[in-house]
Structure 1
Amino acid sequence: MVKFPFAASPSRLRLTEAIRSRLPGILVALVIGIAAQFLSDHYGAPAMLMALLLGIAFHFLAEEGQCAAGIDFTARTVLRIGVALLGARISIDMLIGLGAPLIILTICGVVLTIGVGLLGARLLGRGWRFGLLTGGAVAICGASAAMAIAAVLPRNEHSEKNLIFTVLTVTVLSTVAMVLYPTIARFFGLDDLATGVFLGGTIHDVAQVVGAGFSVSEQTGETAALVKLFRVTMLVPVVLSFSLVVRSLDAKTEAGEACPPLVPVFVWAFLALGAIHSFGLIPARVSDLLSDLSRWALLVAIAAVGMKTALRTIFDVGGQAIALMAAETLFLAVFILVGLHWLA
């Protein structure tokens, strides 16, 4: 048989076919993400929330047809890429700048809030997965944390529903906190520095932290962003701990396969980028670029997650779950306020 030197190899053909099958769904998620960012830029609505709601409106595209494979790929792989790129935001110098008391206060807030989530989920008859998911989302960095945690938890028939509910609720709560928390800080007589610690240690999403902080003062905004980024670094030990829990329980996925590896690849990538950034090997422009890419990847991924979820399934979660996340949010706010009073 004559072999043509330029004939495509089987592996290349499979790769081409994989790209071709996923491209429509990826493009749809990208368009929804761009539309969400447009609404955020022009009307002040949270981009994550807009991407989520717009994605839900296009749920029919994820059920079957040409877009289904690409939507699933975006909701999983692009999500992990976005979380990994968050590592470009952190550095050791950032942690040193906070000081030991604030670091301990922030760590305790994260750990105890997750504990409240687990306890509340048990009292409400919810599974431990839901407690870890909601507690981690509230304690660390909102929608980004929810998606990262969901990526390492064993999947069941409620996984997609719980994730979409958590992202939706935590985004709404974060927006409410952005408006109310500066007023609460003034009510308790906190100075600009303490207000920054309070906002950065309690508000869920990074964008809302920045918005709330700089609405008070420049010092408050910078402090809030610093504390918030430290909470983002807590994502790695929390995800690692959850992986250990999953392995200890010998959990299985929907397909019946073994649970995910102890440290997922995207967590290693997060750590690697953080280490490289700490040694000053990432120029400021590149760091900013990676940060923007992370934000866009997460925005597009949450649009895909929205498309994979039917609106009716969100309401199945129930009012008790909303009460649980509100209680977690309230606990974290009270804990940080009491901690600041004690440190003062």
Structure 2
Amino acid sequence: MNPFMRWPALHGGLERLRVVWPGAAVAGLVMLSATFMAEHHGGPLLLYALLMGLALNFLHEDGRCRPGIEFCTRTVLRAGVALLGARITLGQVGGLGLGPFCVAVAGIATTLWLGAWLAGRMHLTRDLGLLSGAAVSICGASAALAVSAVMPRSEENERSVLLTVVGVTGFSTLAMVFYPPLALLLQLPDVAAGILLGGTIHDVAQVVGAGSMISPAAADVAIIVKLLRVLLLVPVVALLALYWRGRPGVATDAASPVPGRPPLVPLFLLAFMGLVLLNSAGGVPAAAGRLLGDLSRVCLVVALAALGMKTSLARLVALGWRPVALMLAETLWLLALFLGYLWLAGAGGPWAH
């Protein structure tokens, strides 16, 4: 008799590991390859992982790799989003005052509405409009992946997630190049420039890069504003989960306590908030915070590589130009909103330090 059979839980875990390891191992190798490319040749790590994953789409048709790929796009993804909370404290958020917080909330709410409205006008699905609106207004590819964890499960939505990640990463990179010269052209002081960059650029890495092009002070403000937007990911994903939960006949996570519906507040979001509160109370040492942040990044890159492997490039291209135009409109709207706030506040406004 196999000795592991005496402990069913251990036996089940080992059996699960045996099933998922081929696909998970490939996703891990893609993550390492993308990291090597980003570190030695520059460029966005998440986009490298996505493109490499797309090139390995044929592996998703292999019965040996499919379970591991699915595991990475669900469980590993949620773990990565939850661990983002170790990078944020409530003190960082409160240090900037009420103005940027209110504009960030308004930016998220209006961009979500704009995305849903424009999607209907452009004959796209409302789900795509909400997904792209969340990605543009919160934290780019990470937000897209977090929202995808509570979206209705369908092939069309999976293609929408991939297209959103590609589009939002591309626009974020363009923003990193063009927004700092715009801030200098407008002669914004460091704090105002940081608010503009942190409030409008989609991905965290590009926010850091853009802020560093201006000054260390601008970079510090930019990352705090960006983390404020990341913190708002929790209520947004919870509300979207509630919205999709109310839809009859929606196919979502099989582990949901209500068949066909996601939980009201997903557990990974509760873990995210728990880490934010723990970090705010000083319960996460600096070294541990950096480690958890790096682990979050690894999980998100692995999940994105697996998501690429699930998606056919031919089907992705078939979606056409409309989703790209949708994300461009959302990006320009967010930029206009923050520029309007800075213009109204003025260089001597209460947000200036």
TM (norm. structure 2) is 0.94
1:210 is aligned, of 196, 202, 208, to 208
Q: Which stretch has the larger CA shift, 64-73 or 45-54?
A: 64-73
Stretches of structure 2 lacking an aligned partner (at least 5 in a row): 347-353
Q: Which residue of 332, 335, 340 maps to 2:334?
A: 332
2:29 to 8, 28, 31: 31
CA RMSD of aligned residues (A): 1.6
What is the CA distance between 1:259 and its match in structure 2?
1.1
Output the CA distance in 2 between the equivalents of 1:176 and 1:16. Answer: 45
* Equivalent residue, structure 1, for 2:297: 295
Counterpart in the other structure of 1:55:
53
Residue equivalent to 1:310: 312
Instruction: Say if 2:163 and 2:316, in contact at 8 Å, map to a contact too.
Output: yes
Q: What are the residue-to-residue correspondences of 1:150-299 with 2, within 5 Å?
A: 150-253=148-251, 257-299=259-301
What is the aligned partner in structure 1 of residue 350 from structure 2? none
Structure 1 SS opposite 2:282 = coil
Residues 192 and 342 in structure 2, CA contact (< 8 A), matched pair in contact too: yes
Shift of 1:249: 3.0
Distance 1:9 1:87 in 2: 35
1:253 positional shift: 0.5
Partners of 1:155 and 1:213 in 2: CA distance? 37
> How far apart, in 2, do the equivalents of 1:275 and 1:191 lie?
32
Q: Kindly state the Cα deviation for residue 325 of structure 1 after the two structures are TM-superposed.
A: 0.4
The Cα of 1:12 is off from its aligned counterpart by 2.6
Amino acid at match of 1:280: G
- Report the residue type matching 1:126 in the other structure: L
Aligned twin of 2:351: none
The more displaced of 252-261 and 228-237 is: 252-261
Q: Aligned residues: percent identity?
A: 45
**Preserved contact between residue 4 and residue 11 of structure 2 (Cα < 8 Å):** no
Unaligned runs of 5+ in 1: none
Secondary structure, in 3 states, of the residue corresponding to 2:149?
Answer: helix
* Post-superposition CA distance 1:261-299 (Å, at most 9, x none): 000110010011011011111101101110010011101
What CA distance in whole angstroms lies between the structure 1 residues aligned with 2:144 and 2:270? 18
| Equivalent position to 2:85, from 87, 94, 104 | 87
- Tell whether the 8 Å contact from 1:88 to 1:277 is kept in structure 2 after alignment: yes
Secondary structure of the residue aligned to 1:98 is coil
Matched-pair contact (CA < 8 Å) for 1:81–1:297:
yes
CA drift at 1:101: 1.1
Match of 1:126 in 2: 124
Cα deviation digits, residues 78-121 of structure 1 (max 9, x gap): 00000000011111101110101111111111111111111111
Match for residue 13 of structure 2 among 12, 15, 20: 15
Q: Distance in 1 between matches of 2:99 and 2:4?
A: 64
Once residues 322 and 148 of structure 1 are traced to their aligned partners in structure 2, the CA distance between those partners, rounded to angstroms, is 20
TM-aligned CA deviation for residue 75 of structure 1:
1.1
CA distance in 2, matches of 1:95, 1:47: 27
Corresponding residue pairs, total: 342
Shift of 1:314: 1.1
How far residue 189 of structure 1 moved from its aligned partner, in angstroms, is 1.7
Residues 154 and 251 of structure 1 are in contact (CA less than 8 Å); yes or no, is this contact kept in structure 2?
no
Q: Structure 1 residues 6, 47: closer, same or farther in 2, change over 3 A?
A: closer
More deviation, 309-318/219-228: 309-318
Shift of 1:9: 3.2
What is the one-letter code of the residue matched to 2:242?
L
Alignment partner of 2:147 out of 146, 149, 153: 149
